[in-house]
């Protein structure tokens, strides 16, 4: 019996491979995040996710559009073939108020880590692929201006996650943000 209990405990500990994303937006009101947003800073668990202009998760959030069912459409821009293109990501609500599932990207989730609805939101995209898990997070603002207090808050939040790189965009780099 002791061996069975030990084996079960080891299996549970070793089998828990998901990236832990703390939820500070547990009481999220998805309707209040609606509207225009600007990507102010990005962070990722893997340099390749953000390192180049056309990197896979170098997405510039333009707008969050909650649906009547509580799901969310995320309008993004990204660089493809030296031009800025727009895309829509559909995120389906889950039982966790601040978590959304993205079926089009395999076993991916969007987490709203924190928001005050009026000035900032911290979002993370988690891709839990069987071969390699990845995490990319963004500090979104209602204006392209960087709020240093919120930037410091974002940096502190990223220290709790398996994030290795961070990038911040100043208003002078607005053209790199890929706005259509």
Helices (H) and strands (E) in the chain, counts: 2, 10
The C-alpha atoms of residue 100 and residue 30 are separated, in whole angstroms, by: 11
CB atoms within 10 A of CB 27: 8
Q: Which of 77, 19, 79, 75 is nearest to 51 (CA)?
A: 79
The C-alpha atoms of residue 68 and residue 4 are separated, in whole angstroms, by: 48
Asked if residue 168 has pLDDT above 70, the reply is: no
In the chain, the domains with their CATH numbers are: 19-173 (2.40.128.20)
- Residue pair 89/100 in contact (Cβ under 8 Å)? The answer is no
First-residue to last-residue Cα distance in the chain: 63
Question: Which residues is 163 bridged to in the sheet?
Answer: none
Q: Which of 101, 111, 106, 89 is nearest to 160 (CA)?
A: 111
Per-residue pLDDT band for 73 (boundaries 50, 70, 90) equals very high
The C-alpha atoms of residue 33 and residue 78 are separated, in whole angstroms, by: 21
Q: What is the pLDDT of residues 108-133, one digit of tens each?
A: 899 999 999 999 999 998 887 656 77
Q: What are phi and psi of 165, to 5 degrees?
A: -130, 155
How do 165-168 and 38-44 pair as beta strands? antiparallel
Q: What is the pLDDT of residues 30-51, one digit of tens each?
A: 999 999 999 888 888 887 777 7
Per the model's pLDDT, the better-predicted residue between 62 and 17 turns out to be: 62
């Amino acid at each position: 019996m002791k061996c069975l209990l030990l084996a079960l405990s080891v299996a549970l500990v070793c089998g828990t491979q998901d990236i832990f994303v703390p939820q500070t937006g547990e009481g999220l009101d998805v309707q209040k995040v609606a509207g225009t947003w600007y990507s102010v800073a990005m962070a990722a668990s893997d340099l390749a996710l953000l390192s180049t202009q056309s990197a896979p998760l170098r997405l510039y959030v333009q707008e969050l559009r909650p649906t009547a069912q509580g799901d969310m459409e995320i309008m993004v821009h990204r660089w493809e073939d030296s031009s800025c293109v727009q895309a829509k990501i559909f995120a389906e609500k889950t039982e966790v108020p601040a978590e959304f599932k993205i079926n089009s990207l395999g076993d991916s989730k969007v987490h709203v880590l924190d928001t005050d609805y009026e000035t900032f939101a911290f979002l993370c995209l988690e891709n839990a692929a069987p071969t390699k898990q990845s995490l990319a997070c963004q500090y979104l603002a209602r204006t392209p201006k960087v709020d240093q207090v919120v930037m410091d808050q974002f940096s502190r939040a990223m220290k709790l996650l398996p994030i290795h790189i961070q990038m911040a965009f100043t208003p002078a780099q607005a053209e790199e943000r890929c706005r259509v």
